[in-house]
Amino acid sequence: MKILVYRWKSYNYRDVTEGFAGMGGEVFYLEGEPASYDEDPVFFEGAVQRIREIKPDFLFTINYFGVLSDACEECGVPYVVWTCDSCLISMSHRSITNSCNRLFFFDKGDMERVRLFGAPFLRHLPLGADPARSNEMLKGAPADRLSEVAFIGSLYEKNTYDELEGQMDDYLKGYLDAAIEAQLAVSGGNLFDVLLTPDILFRIGEIFTLEKTEGSFSDLALVFSSTVLGFKAASEMRIRALSALSARFDTVLYSNSPAEGLPIRRLPSVDYWTKAPEVFRRSAVNLNFTIPNIRTGLPLRIYDVLAARGFLMTDYRAELAEQFEIGKELVCFESIPELEEKCAYYLKHEEERKKIAEKGYERVNKDHRIGKRLEVLLRELSI
Per-residue pLDDT reduced to its tens digit, 197-211: 999 999 999 999 988
Q: Residue 106 and residue 361: Cα distance in Å, rounded?
A: 20
Residues 293 and 323 in one domain: yes
- Residue 213 pLDDT level (bands cut at 50, 70, 90): confident
Mean pLDDT confidence for 73-87: 96
DSSP 63-86: S--HHHHHHHHHHT--EEEE--SS
Per-residue pLDDT reduced to its tens digit, 245-257: 999 999 999 999 9
Residues 103 and 34 in one domain: yes
Residues 171 and 309 in one domain: yes
Residues 355 and 343 in one domain: yes
Residues 107 and 145 in one domain: no
Average pLDDT of the chain is 95
Residues 104 and 151 in one domain: no
Q: Residue 375 and residue 383: Cα distance in Å, rounded?
A: 10
- Residue 218 pLDDT level (bands cut at 50, 70, 90): confident
For residues 123 and 105, the answer to whether their CB atoms sit within 8 Å is yes
Q: Residue 243 and residue 250: Cα distance in Å, rounded?
A: 11
Q: Which helix (H) or strand (E) holds 228?
A: none
Q: Residue 378 and residue 104: Cα distance in Å, rounded?
A: 11
DSSP state, residue 268: P
Per-residue pLDDT reduced to its tens digit, 273-303: 889 999 999 999 999 999 999 999 999 999 9
Residues 122 and 135 in one domain: no
Q: Examine the pLDDT at 353 and tell me if it is beyond 80.
A: yes
Q: Residue 383 and residue 381: Cα distance in Å, rounded?
A: 5
Torsion 258-312-126-307 (CA) sign:
positive
Q: Please state the domain count of the chain.
A: 2
Residues 155 and 219 in one domain: yes
Per-residue pLDDT reduced to its tens digit, 99-123: 999 999 999 999 999 999 999 999 9
Burial of 157 (0-12, 13-18, 19+ CB in 10 A): middle
Q: Which helix (H) or strand (E) holds 283?
A: strand 283-288
High-pLDDT (> 70) share of the chain, %: 100
Residue 119's domain spans which residues? Answer: 2-128+370-381
Give the distance from CA 227 to its chain's centroid: 14
Residues 220 and 150 in one domain: yes
Any idea how long the chain is?
383
Residues 112 and 166 in one domain: no
Instruction: Please report the pLDDT score of residue 328 as a whole number.
Output: 98
CATH value at residue 316: 3.40.50.2000
For residue 1, give the 3-state DSSP assignment: coil
Residues 95 and 145 in one domain: no
Burial of 200 (0-12, 13-18, 19+ CB in 10 A): middle
For residue 369, give the 3-state DSSP assignment: strand
Residues 94 and 192 in one domain: no
Torsion 128-185-160-40 (CA) sign:
positive
Nearest to 62 by CA among 83, 38, 85: 83
Q: Examine the pLDDT at 140 and tell me if it is beyond 90.
A: no
- Residue 239 pLDDT level (bands cut at 50, 70, 90): very high
